[in-house]
Chains A and B, each alone.
Chain A
Amino acid sequence: MIALSIDGKKVWAKEGSTILEAARLYNIYIPTLCYHPSLSPYGACRLCSVEVVQRDRSRIVVSCLFQIEEGLEVKTNTERIQKLRRGIIELLLARCPSTERIQNLAKEMGVLKPRFSSENEDCILCSLCVRVCQEISEKKALSFVSRGTKREVATPFYQPSEECFDCWGCAYVCPTGAIKIENGKLVFPWMKKDLIFSKD
């Protein structure tokens, strides 16, 4: 067992735990979007960022990936962290203005209207669906394609997958409901876009 402090409170957790796991043991709230307890952590949304003090040095790390150390001092809600979280949610709200989960988080953090033009996505590229398909069903039917701002979740060449066996784990873990089930079939955001490749 390793002892560390989170927001001044002394907590204990097993060696190899992350800060987020230790916090959740004690019901200390750290917001997350791309974290799921049954999947390996990814560190994409950065919402779970916290400040850690190690050897007199303070830095911002993501709590879902940072492993606890003896005597670590963690601060989950400093001004700098709040500002960062608000910034992230503002960026996401600009990307997904009509997504309920994002709207709720934004409201929670006091972000009303983003200062950027609105796009119209539901998917926040959190990779939960990809990780489910890699780690749980192990069918690996889903992956990310393209880079940067063009990044999206898709099957190879946007073709209907021969590997997928409809476990629906992706729809279940999707935090924004971007993956829907209609008439017993999975519907992904990419299916609704115009593509060069045929969809049949």
Chain B
Amino acid sequence: MKIKTPEDLYRIKNEGLKALYPGKTKITVGTSTCGLATGAGKVLESLVDEVQKNDMDILIERVGCLGFCQKEPIVTVLEPGKPKIIYEQITPEKVVELIAVLKRGEIKKDWVLCKMEEEECLVDGVTKKFCNEEGLKGVEDICLYQEVDFYRKQLKIALNNCGFIDPERIEEYIARGGYFPLYKVLHEMSPQEVIEEVKQSGLRGRGGAGFPTGVKWESCRNAKGDIKYVICNADEGDPGAYMDRSILEGDPYSVLEGMVIGAYAIGAHEGYIYLRNEYPLAIRTIKKSIEKAEGCGLLGENILNSNFDFTVKINRGGGAFVCGESSALMASLEGKVGEPRAKYIRSVEKGLWDRPSNINNVETWANVPVIIARGAEWFAKIGTKSSRGTKVFSVVGKVNNTGLVEVPMGISLKEIIYDICGGVQGNKKFKAVQTGGPSGGCIPESLIHLPVDYEELARVGSMMGSGGMIVMDEDTCMVDIANYFLTFLEEESCGKCVPCREGIKRARQVLQGITEGRGEEGDIELLQDLGAILRDGSLCGLGTSAANPVLSTLRYFREEYETHIRNKKCPAGVCRELFQYFIDPEKCEGCHRCVGVCPQQAVSGEKRQPHSMDQSKCIKCGACVEVCKFGAIVKQ
């Protein structure tokens, strides 16, 4: 039934609150793709089974990603009168015991990550307390959610509902305050006021370019034309980035609500979500959400009885990174080949089908309802002067705690990597952090105190990008990293312009040569020349920033390149042609294990005698290193 009045909205809110806090035990499982990849699907099945088997009256719900992907599958248990307990790394086998423990009214403390005494709802500003003093007895030794290192410094705005609601249940979204901002916009604010609010907030595009969102909306509003479009860029092509996926899988209505608000401000009545085809769960989720929202009168004609119409369609991508670039995305939406075009005529004036089009990233849209609800001033207080609000980062690589992290801008890289994500794995030495995906650059240890901010990151030769952050340790070869990114970009280049298509190819050839020991004097200068051609001559952002991985690694790790070129050695021991495995006769006990695993029979030796490596046969697979208990096999 259609929601038309505030009363309708409150009614649904109450239904949602009942679903969120049902007054009986509720168990949630984080079943976004990250959770499913670690087995959350089976955990869910197992839970349903066990609950049934034990004939318990428990509500089981699927929720989105809480961000701590290292500890997935994450299961939360909310018993009436007790704090919410968050369990980590649950398996189907552990479920059996968990249910048994629960039946006894106990908590399996070994598996607990943390507890939540209350839940803040960001949009509403309302804090829901789960229990009183009584309920807190017996769990004093469990740390609070706010005390967990991973969560302590985070501030979730775009991710504020992820992990807390069933993404498909619109009433839960509304219960946490959703769609009230939209009501306010449609009935109490003029389009210009909405734009003003977003401008004042200082929200900048979260997709990478960081253009002031309110200004963009204003330009689109002022552009000539009756038909305008709003577009959500959900192509998320950066390898390792999955922020948008999590939002779409965990809190899809926030994006939809943001788009309606934006459409109202701009004067558009049609919207498109361009979603990469490689996100099937996100596609399913958003499709269902659109249907539900239409059913409730929150999308389609006469939204919330305001006479404002807005429909949104989903367009699936075809597997091209370049289609994340806004003009290529629009070409793809039009059914043409996904090739970018020159941006001299801006898409806010002539975009999709030559009509004014406003495109924003998923995370940007998700911020909008919160800004309307809490106000531009509140938002503007967060972050730095030029980069306001928060940013979601997907921190991956050689860190102890990988996951999605949403932090106020201005926090230092050091805090993210060490405080939030627990530092480098295995006590290895930190080498660099790559930000901004393939278009970004590597930041060395010397700059790790850098605040996360659009301008600061660009200043050192990297960029914010969509929020990917790859941590690298001493075992990472920077030349190999540059080669990896350039290989990716070469594959993904659309091929239209000469600098990008030919330039990236040649730069990759040079890098490949360096990693294979064929580096020559002058290669570094050649790479710098190619970098200049890419920067000055490329048609789109893919090309102009393609040189960043190379140039930033050259800037901070030049000696590594020179070692590769002149000494034909890879200090990190990654480039296969440039290192050897050497069996240290001091350490080798002659246990013969390595001989057994070597596929090339390169290792030989008498038992209990130091073994030796035949370099001509060794393919550097590293199998021997893994089995050696004495650490006798080292890279040279």
Q: How far is the CA of A156 from the CA of B491 in the complex (A)?
A: 22
A150 CA to B491 CA, complexed, in Å:
9
- The CA-CA distance from A30 to B344 in the complex, in Å, is 19
> How many angstroms from the CA of A148 to the CA of B498 in the assembled complex?
10
A-B contact count (CB 8 A): 97
Bound Cα distance A60, B491 (Å): 26
Please tell me if the beta carbons of B502 and A148 are within 8 angstroms of each other in the complex. no
Take A60-B537, A84-B532, A94-B502 as given contacts and tell me if A125 and B495 are in contact as well, using a CB distance cutoff of 8 Å: yes
Over the window 474-514 of chain B, the binary record of Cβ atoms lying under 8 Å from chain A Cβ atoms (1 yes, 0 no) is: 00000000000000001111111111011101100100000
- A80 at interface (Cβ–Cβ under 8 A)? yes
Which residues of chain B are near A84, meaning CB under 8 Å? 532-533, 536-537
Q: Are A148 and B342 in contact (CB under 8 A)?
A: no
A20 to nearest B CB, angstroms? 13
CB of B101 closer than 8 Å to a CB of A: no
B532 touches A149 (CB 8 A): no
B residues in contact with A65, CB < 8 Å: 342, 344
Q: How far is the CA of A125 from the CA of B538 in the complex (A)?
A: 15
Contact A116 B537 (CB under 8 A): no
**Given A83-B532, A84-B537, A88-B533, do A116 and B506 touch, yes or no (CB 8 Å)?**
yes
Minimal Cβ-Cβ distance residue in B for A150 = B495
Q: Does chain B have a CB within 8 A of A26? A: no
**Cβ of B266 to closest chain A Cβ, rounded Å:** 24
Binding-face segment, A40-48, A157-165, A175-183: A40-48
Give Cα distance in the complex from A151 to B498, angstroms: 11
Interface string of A1-36 (1 = CB under 8 A from B): 000000000000000000000000000000000000
Q: How many residues of A contact B (CB 8 A)?
A: 35
Q: Which residue of A66, A127, A149 has the most chain B CB atoms within 10 A of its CB atom?
A: A149
| Of listed B344, B530, B537, residue having the most chain A CB within 10 A | B537
In contact, A43 and B539 (Cβ under 8 angstroms): yes
Within 8 A of A (CB), among B319-351: 320, 322, 337, 341-342, 344-345
Tell me, yes or no, whether A154 is within 8 Å of chain B by CB.
Answer: no
- Chain A residues lying within 8 Å of B495, measured Cβ to Cβ, are 125, 144, 146-151
Q: Does A87 contact B (CB under 8 A)?
A: yes
Q: In the complex, are the beta carbons of B536 and A44 less than 8 A apart?
A: no
Does B526 sit at the interface, judged by CB under 8 A?
Answer: yes
> Shortest distance in angstroms between A175's beta carbon and chain B's nearest beta carbon?
13
Q: Does the CB pair B498–A45 fall under 8 Å?
A: yes
Chain A contacts for B492, CB-based, 8 A: 147-148
Does A155 count as interface, using CB distance less than 8 angstroms?
A: no
Give chain A nearest CB distance to B232 CB in angstroms. Answer: 24
Residues of A within 8 A of B501 (CB): 125, 148-149, 151
A109 within 8 A of B: no
From residue A77, how far is it (CB to closest CB) to chain B in Å? 14
Point out the residues of chain B lying under 8 angstroms from A144, CB to CB: 337, 495
Contact, CB under 8 Å: B499 / A46: yes
Cross-chain contact of B497 among A44, A67, A80, A116 (Cβ < 8 A):
A44
- Cβ B526 vs Cβ A115 within 8 A: yes
Within 8 Å by CB of A49, from B320, B503, B505, B536, lies B536
User: B45 in the interface, Cβ–Cβ < 8 Å?
Assistant: no
Q: Report whether A147 and B493 are in contact in the complex, using a CB–CB cutoff of 8 Å.
A: yes
Given A87-B532, A94-B506, also A49-B537 (CB < 8 A): yes
State the Cβ distance, B382 to closest chain A Cβ, in Å.
30
User: Contacts A46-B497, A67-B345 given: A91-B503 contact, CB under 8 Å?
Assistant: yes
Interface flag for A117 (CB, 8 Å): yes
Judge if A105 is at the interface, Cβ distance under 8 Å: no
User: Chain A binding site: helix, strand, loop or mixed by DSSP?
Assistant: mixed
Chain A neighbourhood of B342, CB < 8 A: 43, 61-62, 65-66
Indicate if A95 sits at the interface (CB-CB under 8 A): yes
Residues of B contacting A123 with CB < 8 Å? Answer: none
Residues of B contacting A115 in the complex (Cβ-Cβ under 8 angstroms): 522, 526
In the complex, the answer to whether A91 meets B499 with C-beta atoms within 8 Å is yes
Is A92 located at the chain interface by the 8 A CB criterion? yes
Question: In whole angstroms, how far apart are the Cα atoms of A71 and B526 in the complex?
Answer: 37
The yes or no answer to B529 lying at the interface (CB within 8 A) is yes
52-104 of chain B: CB within 8 A of chain A: none
Docked pose: A43 CA to B492 CA in angstroms: 19
Q: In the complex, which residue of chain A has the Cβ closest to the Cβ of B508?
A: A149
CB-CB under 8 A from B320, the residues of chain A are 147
For B507, give the chain A residue with the smallest CB separation.
A116
- Asked if B344 and A66 sit within 8 Å, CB to CB, the answer is yes
Least CB distance, B494 to chain A, in whole angstroms? 6
Cα A25 to Cα B465 in complex, Å, equals 42
Is B532 in contact with A148, judged by CB distance below 8 angstroms?
Answer: no
Q: Please indicate the chain A residues that have their CB under 8 angstroms from the CB of B536 in the complex.
A: 49, 60, 80, 84
Give, as a whole number of angstroms, the nearest-CB distance from A83 to chain B: 7
Q: Report which of B490, B493, B496, B530 forms a contact with A44, defined as CB distance below 8 A.
A: B496
Q: Is the CB of A87 within 8 A of B533?
A: yes
Q: Which of B320, B506, B532 has the most CB of A within 10 A?
A: B506
CB-defined contacts of B341 to chain A, threshold 8 Å: 43
Bound complex: CA A62 to CA B343 (Å)? 11
Q: How far is the CA of A46 from the CA of B496 in the complex (A)?
A: 10
Q: Give the CA-CA distance A121 to B490 in the complex, in Å.
A: 19
A87, B344: Cβ atoms under 8 Å? Answer: no
Contact partners of B497 in chain A: CB under 8 A: 43-46
Contact between chains at B509 and A46 (CB < 8 Å): no
Minimum C-beta distance from A55 to chain B (A): 15
Contacts of A46 in B (CB 8 A): 497-499, 537-539
Closest Cβ–Cβ distance, residue B136 to chain A (whole Å): 58
Chain A residues with Cβ under 8 A from B496's Cβ?
44, 125, 127, 151
Extra 15 A-B pairs, beta carbons < 8 Å, given A47-B498, A65-B344, A94-B502: A43-B497, A45-B497, A45-B498, A60-B536, A84-B537, A87-B529, A87-B530, A87-B532, A91-B499, A91-B503, A115-B522, A115-B526, A117-B509, A150-B495, A151-B495
Residues of A within 8 A of B (CB): 43-47, 49, 60-62, 65-67, 80, 83-84, 87-88, 91-92, 94-95, 115-117, 124-125, 127, 143-144, 146-151
Q: A-contacting residues of B (Cβ < 8 Å)?
A: 320, 322, 337, 341-342, 344-345, 490-499, 501-503, 505-506, 509, 522, 526, 529-530, 532-533, 536-539
Q: Which 6 A-B pairs have the closest CB atoms?
A: A151-B495, A87-B533, A91-B502, A148-B493, A46-B537, A148-B495
| Listed A/B pairs (23) with beta-carbon separation below 8 Å | A43-B497, A46-B498, A49-B537, A60-B537, A62-B539, A65-B344, A84-B536, A87-B503, A87-B529, A87-B532, A87-B533, A91-B499, A91-B502, A92-B502, A95-B502, A125-B496, A146-B495, A147-B320, A147-B494, A147-B495, A148-B490, A148-B491, A151-B494
